[in-house]
Structures are given as C-alpha cells and as structure tokens.
Amino acid sequence: MNDAPIGVFDSGLGGMSVLREMVRRLPHENFIYVADSGHCPYGGKSQQQIIARTVAITDFLLGRGAKLVVVACNTATVAAVEYLRANYSNAFVGMEPAVKPAVALTRSGVVGVLATVATLSGEKLHKLIDRHAGSVRIITQPCPGLPERVEAGELESAETRVLVERYTAPLLAGGADVVVLGSTHYPFLRPLIQQVVGPEVKLLDTGEAVARRVENVLKGDGNGEDLRADRLGPGEVEWFTSGAPQHLKTIGSRLWGLPIVASALPA
C-alpha cells in the first residue's frame, strides 16, 4: 500500500496549485492527477451533477490503486465530500477556504472570500464562517468566468483583469485587508490579483495546509498505519484529463512549469 499513488482531482487545472504543494511536501510519493476539464466549471453545476462526476473520478482513481483521494477543488468538496466519505471506505482529504487564518490575520476587521457560486451557496462555508468569523465581517464574492480564464491559460489577459477588478472591487470598497482565494484555480491568478488589490492586501490559499493534512493522514494521524511511500527517489505524477489531452499538455505544462504527458480519462 505504501508505494500506491495518491489520487488528486479537480474540475480542471486548478487542483494543480494544491498538487504543487503536495509534491513539495511529499517528494517521494507518486500521484495521479485527474483534470475534469471536459466538465469544467463545476461552479454553476447542481450538487447531483458534481456528485456524479466525483464518483466517476473516484472509481477511476481507486481502480488505479490510489491509497488516498484528495479532492483538490473547493466546489467539489462542498458538494460531494460528505457523500464520498459515506460511500467509500478509503480516506478523502478535501479543501476548506482559509477563513480561519484570514480572521486571525485581518487588521481592518474585514475579510473577503472569492469562490464559486456553488461553494458560496453550500452549507459548509456558512458553517465555517459561523464558527470562525467572530466579530470580523466576511464579504463573499462569486467569480463566474474566472476558472475558464485559467483553463484557457489566460493568467494576465485584459479579459481576466476585467473580471478580477470587478470581483475584488466590492471587497476593497468594504475595507477588506485579507482576501481568501476560495477556489483552487485562483492561486494561478495570484500575481494579477495582487496587482489589482495592491500590496497591502494579503491573499490566502490553502494548498500548503492541505499538503500538511495529507501528510498527517498518511502518517495515520498518530494512531493508524503509516502509509507514506518508502521509495528513496522522487515520485512521479501521472496525468489524466476528461478534456482534450492536448489542452492539459499545453496549458497544463505551462501552469506546472514542466512538460506533462497527458492521457485521456477513460469514459
């Protein structure tokens, strides 16, 4: 089991921002990454549609021997992680927008959260805000169209900038000095978002925290079996997409910073 891969998926390329942190923290692990780019974005889909996609991808990952599945997508976590945990016996690690650290960090007492429509309308985020906000005001902002810009590799285009300006304006007008990047696609837009909001506003994502969580789960959380890979050399990433493999190969490689060998996800 130890040398089995870790399965990771997202609605598209966004989860690569989480994978990057996991590879950094767990360099000896093998990973299988599934970009569901053929069905991106998840943000406007119904919960039933998202559950159906996560089940298909989980079955694929487990069929390839994954020892753990990371739902590297905030939207899929909100819509489906409870369903997955109730219906499979393996461990799942999901995303949680960085509301708690943002509340600890704000000096102005106002935090902005950028996320998809589905994430913002899910009960999970409301509970998270209720639990951690205290006296801090949380301004949430849905960002339709942004994942598509990342999928197109347009990290700095005029069209992307217009969207970023539109979505961050209400947060800045409300006085937010910390902005939570509540979708795994947004860390790829970090330089542009930072430029738009200015250097004083802090941007938080949860990729690193999720990598830490994955390490702890593999360690058995202190009381289970240690499932960390025992190979000495570096692990590898295998790449699959439900979209065009050429898309993952070209745009994906650009985001990843290394050439990607992309295969089609079996239908």
Q: What residues make contact with ligand DGL under the rule CB under 6 A?
A: 10-11, 14, 40-43, 73-75, 116, 119, 147, 183-185
- When the beta carbons of 126 and 231 are compared against ligand DGL, the nearer one is 126
Distance from C-alpha of 220 to C-alpha of 208, rounded to nearest angstrom: 19
Name the β-bridge partners of 69: 7, 92
- When the beta carbons of 66 and 113 are compared against ligand DGL, the nearer one is 113
CB pairs under 8 A, 24+ apart, for 214-219?
Answer: 214/6, 214/22, 214/25, 214/26, 214/68, 214/70, 214/93, 215/25, 215/26, 217/68, 217/91, 217/93, 218/6, 218/26, 218/29, 218/67, 218/68
- When the beta carbons of 210 and 227 are compared against ligand DGL, the nearer one is 210
- When the beta carbons of 211 and 229 are compared against ligand DGL, the nearer one is 211
Of the candidates 189, 145, 167, the residue with the CA atom closest to the CA atom of residue 40? 145
- When the beta carbons of 114 and 229 are compared against ligand DGL, the nearer one is 114
Report the residue closest to ligand DGL, judged by CB: 43
Minimum CB–partner distance for residue 102 and ligand DGL (Å): 16
Minimum CB–partner distance for residue 219 and ligand DGL (Å): 26
Kindly give, in sequence order, each residue whose CB lies less than 8 Å from that of residue 35, ignoring residues fewer than 6 positions away.
9, 10, 12, 13, 15, 16, 239, 240, 241, 242, 243, 248, 252
Read off φ and ψ for residue 115, nearest 5 degrees: -160, 180
User: What is the length of the chain?
Assistant: 267
CB 83 within 8 A of CB 51: yes
- When the beta carbons of 187 and 227 are compared against ligand DGL, the nearer one is 187
Minimum CB–partner distance for residue 123 and ligand DGL (Å): 16
Minimum CB–partner distance for residue 14 and ligand DGL (Å): 3
Minimum CB–partner distance for residue 183 and ligand DGL (Å): 4
Minimum CB–partner distance for residue 199 and ligand DGL (Å): 25
- When the beta carbons of 118 and 201 are compared against ligand DGL, the nearer one is 118
Distance from C-alpha of 88 to C-alpha of 90, rounded to nearest angstrom: 6
Minimum CB–partner distance for residue 147 and ligand DGL (Å): 4
